[in-house]
Structure 1
Amino acid sequence: MAFSYTSCVVNWVSLHLFLVVFFSGNLVFGGSIVTHLPGFDGELPFTLETGYITVNKSELFYYFIESELSPDSDPLLVWYSGGPGCSAFNGLIYEIGPLAFNITAYQGGIPTLQYYPYSWTKSSNILFIDAPVGTGFSYASDLSAYPTGDTKSAQETYEFLIKWFTDHPKFLANQLFIGADSYSGISAPIVVKYIIDGADTGDFPRFNLKGYIVGCPRTDAIINENSKITYSHRMGFISDQLYEQAKESCNGSYYEIESDDSECYINLQKIEKLTHDLNKNDILEPKCTWASPDQDGESDRRLLKEESENFILSPPRIPDFWCHNFNYALSYVWANDISVQEALNVRVGTVKDWKRCNKTLDYSMDVDSVLDVHRYLSTKGLQVLVYNGDHDLTVPNIGTQDWIKLLNNMTVDFEWRPWFVDGQIAGYNIKYSRRGSGYRLTYATVLGAGHSPQEYKRRECFDMYNRFIHYYPI
């Protein structure tokens, strides 16, 4: 990827960096080092910094964990969660970070935390961002800043990165990867595009961008919705006869069918009835969201957020029936405790009721597809990892494979094959490249995983990421 700067811009940037480093010393701009957390026994065995970055009238909260191996030279991964409106704490505690709740020992009160050894911080610095505003501990000083959407969120995340790296210039030389999952599969590639376009126009600072990572990513509304029907048929949820009827009557497209008296609509209603009681996030797990169905007419795109708080009974109370959502309930208890917020250096009172996923976010879903963005990025010499759990009906692996095939001028470097962890098949993968651009995309499925895969197969996803980030075949 080529960057062009005039000599005066280079000199100005160099001077600016010198002044920042000279006057900063060991000072952390806008952030504080956290050494102890309620529920964790002893001092944290890694470096955690928390803080806020002001973007427009928004105060975006972050958790930054330095690599446990070599923070000065290891890559830096920027990570934010889907939803929209799910806190990056979700990624830190349930997916890729070095902490986990001790679920089996919970007896009430503040949940206990334990060190998780297969963390992505073993080989990377990770910057977790509560984005957009209204997510996690991020808040606005003016109510007018709260309305947001796909485009605005991507722009503000990019502005956040400019300010954060300006405050942390020592990490500018580290290889940079942007990472996101679920609904943030829409905004993440837009953020990557902002970084590339900003470099071409001479924006400061200059990022050492190497690639991006998207897990179970929302990418294209039509492809995603169509893939749910195909996936349901392949998994045996709907019969061959009904599938063929639906495919013929709907002409193979099942997205936003408006006529409620058409044969297509009737067939889709039959399919909905057959799949309604499945847990869409993991088809093999019980469906534990006991709340009434939404009555506000929101589209299925909102279903990328889980109804996390509706089921909070612990395993000891119901030993024969465990629910995945119990994991989430502990985060509400922990993050809403004042002692926890004080330890995290949260501005207490700015967020009166922390939620893992804020379903009241004033959010406009104004981008239906980022397929063209992925096509654009495929000309920029990036390293890309895309993955799905193969038990995910929210963003089925079929749809992800479909949009990858629509990228331009792609060559298959190696065919579909299994990948292994500890001698066992952990999933399947295929690798593509674009000749002449240096662009390489690895697509992987995670065997037995749901949405998002890291929650279900945390160890396997660590191995997948660790190989990718070190440019090893998965």
Structure 2
Amino acid sequence: MLFAVFLLLVSMEVIESRLLVQTLPGFVGDLPFTLETGQQFALSYIGVGESDDVQFFYYFIESEGNPKDDPLILWLTGGPGCSALSGLLYEIGPLTINYQNSTLEKAVLEIKPHSWTKVANIIFVDQPAGSGFSYARTPEGYKANDTSSAMQTYQFLRKWLVDHPKFLKNPFYLGGDSYSGIVLPIVVDEIYNGIGIGEWPQINIKGYVLGNPSTDTRSESNSRIPFAHRMALLSDAIYKSAKENCHGEYLNVDPNNILCIRDLEVVEKCLERIYKGHILEPSCEKPSKPFKSNTLRRSMRSLDTTSVDARPLPQFQTHWCREGSYIYSSTWANSRDVREALHIREEFNDIEWVRCNKTFRRHVPTERIVYTHNVPSVVGYHRRLADKNCRALVYSGDHDMVVPYIDTLNWIESLNLSVESDWTPWFVNKQVAGYTMKFSKDEYSLTYATVKGGGHTAPEYKPKECLSMFTRWLAYDPL
């Protein structure tokens, strides 16, 4: 009895110490939802890693429905190195930028009507160190890889739940998109391992959500050329020649295979001005240099073409492009009043916030190596999770050439699950919103969905449809 009273008092103390954000620069009036950016005693951060060397910043938004019973989601943004604020503003959070009334000097925020916080409590975390407002206290703390990032994320989650005991009973899902498709299954596997050995706190995990996920870096790179052919960006003749001469391998090309290299020069010319995040949208990118032996390999292998903060390019300012719209978040997050409102630590004052930290990316020359891509494929993790009492939602924007839907469907089918329902349309407002399949094995189920007209990542392009998809799946309803 005394122990229960003690836990209650600790819980009340934690709640009272929460750093709540009631107003934000650029938004008129009080926020119509509960936003927390940390605990007062921790000054907005949760320490992870050895000696808490790494300091993770997070945004926690309570469900606008029923916070007590609605699921709890920990959302991981991709990159790696992209800020959680990107996912919050551009994808599934309750705020977005009103571009019509904004200037590059002063961004105006408005409510996003199709936020996933309508039906779930969501923690957006900046991970790993060097992403968003998260940082490390020593140079060693910035050295991370796929597995260490996953372990630090798991540590963060456990500490967060200790600080927020009232959410321990809520159904928990881990969610993420893009490159977090590599890290996320590792974290989910670790959660189930922790449950198996009785680690505290016990996480009430029900499953995971993955959007446009990187899963096997080699196969997804090789899938981009078949995808381009399917989408009429390559002719039958060009595709057939490249497929035969390169033997289906477009990433690691034999430098002596002259026929393959010549074919890839043609492919490069066809695709160099296509915006990979959504093939129908205009591109802000400068034309690439003449093809050399590894030019295509680099451009096609780089996972997140939307990762680097866009800078104004005068020669491309005659039309709107998505990369240009990302600049507004940078000017907003780097203003002093915003940092004060979010309770950002003073030791971060001299560090520039960037939407995505390009030093995390492959093939980017940098004086300090901060991230090692040490897990090329997580298909094996998905195969292990298929033996758990677990549910998964995996979706793809069908106009995404960064992680094409055909590759995602291929690795799902490689799990050899039973097909409960075959390829069929799903609808929003009586219109086809995409196509879906459902797979199962014992107590495991996986729902796959394409989002018609969606890009990388789908909620940014089709917010209404994606909220409908997510809400139905949470409720165990067919899409």
Structure 1 and Structure 2 fold alike (TM over 0.5): yes
Q: Aligned with 2:224: secondary structure?
A: helix
Q: 2:34–2:61: 8 Å Cα contact kept in structure 1?
A: yes
Where does residue 67 of structure 1 map in the other structure?
Answer: 63
Matched-pair identity in % = 46
Using a 3 Å threshold, how does the CA distance of structure 1 residues 104 and 260 change in structure 2: closer, same or farther? Answer: farther
Where does residue 459 of structure 2 map in the other structure?
Answer: 454
Where does residue 310 of structure 1 map in the other structure?
Answer: 310
> When the two structures are superposed, what TM-score results if normalisation uses the length of structure 2?
0.90
Whether 1:377 and 2:373 are equivalent positions in the alignment is no
Whether 1:420 and 2:407 are equivalent positions in the alignment is no
Where does residue 242 of structure 1 map in the other structure?
Answer: 238
Where does residue 366 of structure 1 map in the other structure?
Answer: 374
Deviation at 1:350, TM superposition (A): 1.3
Q: 1:64–1:126: 8 Å Cα contact kept in structure 2?
A: yes
Aligned residues: 455
Q: Stretches of 4+ moved more than 6 A in 1?
A: 14-18, 291-295, 317-320
Using a 3 Å threshold, how does the CA distance of structure 1 residues 246 and 470 change in structure 2: closer, same or farther? Answer: same
Whether 1:54 and 2:70 are equivalent positions in the alignment is no
> When the two structures are superposed, what TM-score results if normalisation uses the length of structure 1?
0.91
Alpha-carbon distance in structure 2 between the residues aligned to 1:278 and 1:106: 28
Using a 3 Å threshold, how does the CA distance of structure 1 residues 15 and 78 change in structure 2: closer, same or farther? Answer: farther
Using a 3 Å threshold, how does the CA distance of structure 1 residues 58 and 29 change in structure 2: closer, same or farther? Answer: farther
Q: Give 2:107's match in structure 1, choosing from 104, 111, 114.
A: 111
What's the RMSD between the two structures over aligned residues? Answer: 2.4
- After the TM superposition, which residues 461-472 of structure 1 pair with which residues of structure 2 at under 5 Å, given as runs? 461-472=466-477
Where does residue 29 of structure 2 map in the other structure?
Answer: 42
Deviation at 1:262, TM superposition (A): 3.7
Q: Aligned with 2:346: secondary structure?
A: coil
Alpha-carbon distance in structure 2 between the residues aligned to 1:31 and 1:108: 32
Q: 2:273–2:285: 8 Å Cα contact kept in structure 1?
A: no
Whether 1:344 and 2:336 are equivalent positions in the alignment is no
Alpha-carbon distance in structure 2 between the residues aligned to 1:357 and 1:455: 16
Alpha-carbon distance in structure 1 between the residues aligned to 2:403 and 2:18: 35
- After the TM superposition, which residues 164-175 of structure 1 pair with which residues of structure 2 at under 5 Å, given as runs? 164-175=160-171
Where does residue 326 of structure 2 map in the other structure?
Answer: 328
Using a 3 Å threshold, how does the CA distance of structure 1 residues 422 and 74 change in structure 2: closer, same or farther? Answer: same
User: What whole-Å deviation, never above 9, does each CA across 1:284-336 have from its counterpart, x for those lacking one?
Assistant: 111113497799x967544415254334489xx99962111232111001100
Deviation at 1:259, TM superposition (A): 2.0
Q: 1:21–1:169: 8 Å Cα contact kept in structure 2?
A: no
Q: Aligned with 2:328: secondary structure?
A: helix
Using a 3 Å threshold, how does the CA distance of structure 1 residues 301 and 252 change in structure 2: closer, same or farther? Answer: closer
Alpha-carbon distance in structure 1 between the residues aligned to 2:7 and 2:242: 62
Partner AA of 1:368 in structure 2: P
Q: Which runs of 5+ in 2 are unaligned?
A: 39-44, 361-369
Using a 3 Å threshold, how does the CA distance of structure 1 residues 82 and 319 change in structure 2: closer, same or farther? Answer: closer
Partner AA of 1:439 in structure 2: Y
Using a 3 Å threshold, how does the CA distance of structure 1 residues 55 and 300 change in structure 2: closer, same or farther? Answer: farther
Partner AA of 1:239 in structure 2: S
Alpha-carbon distance in structure 2 between the residues aligned to 1:204 and 1:26: 20
Q: 2:305–2:402: 8 Å Cα contact kept in structure 1?
A: no
Partner AA of 2:465 in structure 1: E
Whether 1:283 and 2:276 are equivalent positions in the alignment is no
Where does residue 354 of structure 2 map in the other structure?
Answer: 355
Q: 1:80–1:184: 8 Å Cα contact kept in structure 2?
A: yes
Using a 3 Å threshold, how does the CA distance of structure 1 residues 417 and 187 change in structure 2: closer, same or farther? Answer: same
